[in-house]
Amino acid sequence: MAVPAPPGLGHTFFEQLLVQRRVIGALLMREMLTRYGRRNIGFLWLFAEPMMVTLIVTALWTTRGLHQYSDIPIAAFAITGYSGIQLWRNMSRRCIDAIEPNRALLRHRPVKMLDIYLARMLLEVAGTTTSFALLCVMFLMFSDQITPPEDILEVAYAWGLFAWFSMGMSISLGALSELTPLVNKFWPPFIYIFYPLSGAMFLVDILPHGMREFVAYIPMVHANEMLRHGFFGSHFTAHYDISYLIGWCLGLCVFGLGLSRMTVEHRLS
């Protein structure tokens, strides 16, 4: 006689998908309340924080007169660059050691390790995307330092690839941090190394040829170049390879999911 499935787990793929959607929704609400619910402006801080940081960077670059060296709008340059940094930086930091404070949740059979990662990553994507969109709208409405994107579909496509890459990298780092504590010690310094190399602070077209070949191996550079090409592509020559970026996204996702499975088996053994 067949053993019935436990209540709430469902029998078919679609039923299990609905269960996972409810689990991730509940984890999202829990994460929002835990992180923002009892602090100052609450969940509004989710996108207010990246907005403030991006505005400060834009003001500093404008004050130093960097806009005088190019006809590229400095506000758009700063918003596109620093918003991308916050996407992969915050997402990766939230996934490293994310299981330890949520270990009790894994006692519930519908809750998986990947669900905890997805909830945290979706929250970061929502906050950073909202701040990115609001900053663009605010500068368009109240300032002449930014022009409308030349290709809004390319901007959306590039941002989606940026988020996909960040999620794959974050899952990989999160699963790896469960196997060794060295990830939590070495990743923060690596973040500061990737800051100047991620393409957020420069355009590939202005670099010497030898440097162009070097930065072409860094996937974040391709995402930044594509994002800026959608904003002001007529002002510069973009250098990016979509297939290379997608290859990195797929590779990181496969590696991260496989590593997550290995981590689960390691804990059960």
DSSP state of 233: G
Q: In this structure, what token pair is assigned to residue 178?
A: 């469960």
- Residue 234's pLDDT is 83
Nearest CA-CA partner of 132 in 37, 242, 53, 226: 53
Q: Which amino acid is at 30?
A: R
Tell me if residue 40 falls in helix, strand or coil: coil
Q: What is the total residue count of the chain? A: 269
* Residue 248 lies inside a defined structural domain of this protein: yes
* Residue 4 lies inside a defined structural domain of this protein: no
- Residue 9's pLDDT is 47
Burial 86-124 (b: 16+ CB within 10 A, else e): bbbbbbbbbbbebbeebeebeeeebbbbbbbbbbbbbbb
Furthest-apart CA atoms within the chain: distance in Å = 78
* Residue 211 lies inside a defined structural domain of this protein: yes
Give the residue ranges of DSSP H helices in 96-145. 113-142
For residue 234, the tally of other CB atoms under 10 A from its CB is 7
Query: What whole-number distance in Å separates Cα of residue 191 and Cα of residue 187?
Result: 6
Report how many domains make up the chain: 1
* Residue 116 lies inside a defined structural domain of this protein: yes
Given the structure tokens 């670059």, which residue do they identify? 61
Cα within 13 Å of Cα(13), Cβ side: 0
- Residue 76's pLDDT is 80
What is the tally of helices (H) and strands (E) in the chain? 9, 0
* Residue 27 lies inside a defined structural domain of this protein: yes
- Residue 19's pLDDT is 82
- Residue 10's pLDDT is 46
DSSP state of 4: P
* Residue 230 lies inside a defined structural domain of this protein: yes
pTM beyond 0.75: the answer is yes
Q: In this structure, what token pair is assigned to residue 136?
A: 């663009």
- Residue 141's pLDDT is 84
- Reported as a single tens digit per residue, the pLDDT across 180-229 is 888 988 998 888 888 888 888 888 988 898 899 999 999 999 999 999 99
- Residue 1's pLDDT is 37
- Residue 41's pLDDT is 58
- The range of the structural domain enclosing residue 244 comes to 15-268
pLDDT under 50: residue ranges of the chain = 1-10, 268
Is residue 95 within 8 Å of residue 120, measured between CB atoms?
yes
Nearest CA-CA partner of 93 in 30, 173, 32, 29: 173
* Residue 224 lies inside a defined structural domain of this protein: yes
Query: What whole-number distance in Å separates Cα of residue 119 and Cα of residue 106?
Result: 14
* Residue 3 lies inside a defined structural domain of this protein: no
Q: Which amino acid is at 171?
A: I
- Residue 226's pLDDT is 95
